[in-house]
Structure 1
Amino acid sequence: MKIKNSEFITSAVRREQYPTDERIEVAFVGRSNVGKSSIINSITNRRGLAKVSQTPGKTRLINFFLINNDFYLVDLPGYGYAKVSKTEKASWGKIIETYLSSRLQLKRVVLLVDCRHKPTEDDIMMHEWIKHYGYDVLVIATKSDKLSKNELRKSEKVIRDTLKLAQEDKLYYFSSLNKIGRDELVDSIFDDIILKEDNEQSKES
């Protein structure tokens, strides 16, 4: 799939602030320092589409980006940043859970983890949340340029074991710096759900 255009539409905290046009959605979620904004900018080929904050944990909103005037890429708040209060952490968790528990348009959640580290308790909980609500989940290990091929193999085993991924569960590696495999990753994230949605619309009409 070619991403020809992408634009920021709105930010939201509450359910009534979400877009109401019924387009399907693919959400991205991960720890606050995992490189979520960078990967969104990489796959859309728009350097400043998602704002890259110099302060981890700063994004407190759900951001909706319209892709190809066809579907939404949804940027969920980063979680797990240590230097915020428990109250703030709880509030971000509530924002994410409200979205996951009520969004019929949501067709897939992309969970980002840092390939250099074992997934954290927050990552495990987020993966379990996504599965609990019945969404298709795709895991991307970011910052893959930082590891050697041997280290990447070890990383894959650690991530799969920690998140209890089955062999058929999708796990991809990506670096926002070298962007190797970008087009294939875009296809893996979006192609099948867009095609499925188009087929369902064709049946209805």
Structure 2
Amino acid sequence: MKIRKVELESVAAKPIQYPEEGLTEIALAGRSNVGKSSLINTLINRNNFARTSGQPGKTQTINFYNINGEFRIVDLPGYGYAKVSMTERQRWADMIEKYLTTRESLKEVVLLIDIRHEPGEHDKMMYDWIKSFGYKGYIIATKADKISKGQWQKHTSIIKKSLEVASTDLIIPFSAAKKLNVDKVWGTIESILELHEESIDEDDIQPEEE
């Protein structure tokens, strides 16, 4: 996909701050510091457009990135960071849940997992939620440059088994640092957008009058 324009359209802590409904939204979910911002920067080929930090739990808002005026990538707050208060963690969880359960423009939730580690309890809960709402179940296995390519299959198999993923085809090893599999991630995004466009076209077809 050719990137012509990228805009941080909204930084939201509550629904009233969300952008208007309409554009297809693809949300990125994952643990704190799993690499959501780095993924966005790599996809749009811009350094530090989406803020990255070595400090987990830095993203405390829902960030809406408008791509070419055609769709949005939505960066959700990272979950599972222990070094914040229980009250703060609950606030983040409520923020994420409110968006995921009420946003009509949301068409897919993609889960990011660090390829080096077996998914944890929070990852399993999030993936179960994603599947329960009928989403495809795509996973981007980040930081793939940290292990040898020969180990990718072993680690993706662990993710597949742990999360009960339908197929390893849904798991994409990815590295922002080495720009590995950027084309595959874009291919997935484009397939999501095309699927949604097709559903809109079908809805526009009116039955013939008898």
Partner of 1:192 in structure 2? 191
Secondary structure in 2 matching 1:107: strand
Structure 2: distance between partners of 1:122 and 1:68 = 33
Q: Per-residue CA shift, 1:110-129, capped at 9, x if unaligned?
A: 10000110001011111112
Partner of 1:76 in structure 2? 76
CA contact 2:26–2:109 (8 Å) conserved in 1: yes
Q: Which runs of 5+ in 1 are unaligned?
A: none
TM-score between both structures, scaled by the size of structure 1: 0.93
Structure 1: distance between partners of 2:111 and 2:147 = 20
Q: Per-residue CA shift, 1:138-196, capped at 9, x if unaligned?
A: 101000001113322221111001101112661000000111221232111x2122223
Structure 2: distance between partners of 1:18 and 1:105 = 11
Q: Alpha carbons of 1:169 and 1:95: their partners in 2 closer, same or farther (altered >3 Å)?
A: farther
Deviates more, 1:164-173 or 1:58-67: 164-173
Partner of 1:180 in structure 2? 180
TM-score between both structures, scaled by the size of structure 2: 0.91
Secondary structure in 2 matching 1:159: helix
Secondary structure in 2 matching 1:154: helix
Alignment map for 1:38-187 (pairs within 5 Å): 38-167=38-167, 170-187=170-187
Structure 2: distance between partners of 1:197 and 1:58 = 32
Q: Alpha carbons of 1:4 and 1:19: their partners in 2 closer, same or farther (altered >3 Å)?
A: same
Give the Å deviation of 1:133.
2.4
Partner of 2:208 in structure 1? none
Percent identity over the alignment?
45
Secondary structure in 1 matching 2:145: helix
Q: Alpha carbons of 1:95 and 1:24: their partners in 2 closer, same or farther (altered >3 Å)?
A: same
Structure 1: distance between partners of 2:181 and 2:148 = 16
Q: Max radius of gyration: which structure? A: 2
Structure 2: distance between partners of 1:40 and 1:16 = 24
Partner of 2:29 in structure 1? 29
Q: Alpha carbons of 1:160 and 1:115: their partners in 2 closer, same or farther (altered >3 Å)?
A: same
Q: CA RMSD in A?
A: 1.7
CA contact 1:142–1:174 (8 Å) conserved in 2: yes
CA contact 1:100–1:130 (8 Å) conserved in 2: no
Q: Alpha carbons of 1:179 and 1:104: their partners in 2 closer, same or farther (altered >3 Å)?
A: same
Q: Per-residue CA shift, 1:28-55, capped at 9, x if unaligned?
A: 1111111111111001112122101232
Give the Å deviation of 1:200.
4.1
Secondary structure in 2 matching 1:59: coil
Secondary structure in 2 matching 1:137: coil
Q: Per-residue CA shift, 1:35-82, capped at 9, x if unaligned?
A: 111111001112122101232102110000100111111000011111
Aligned residues: 204
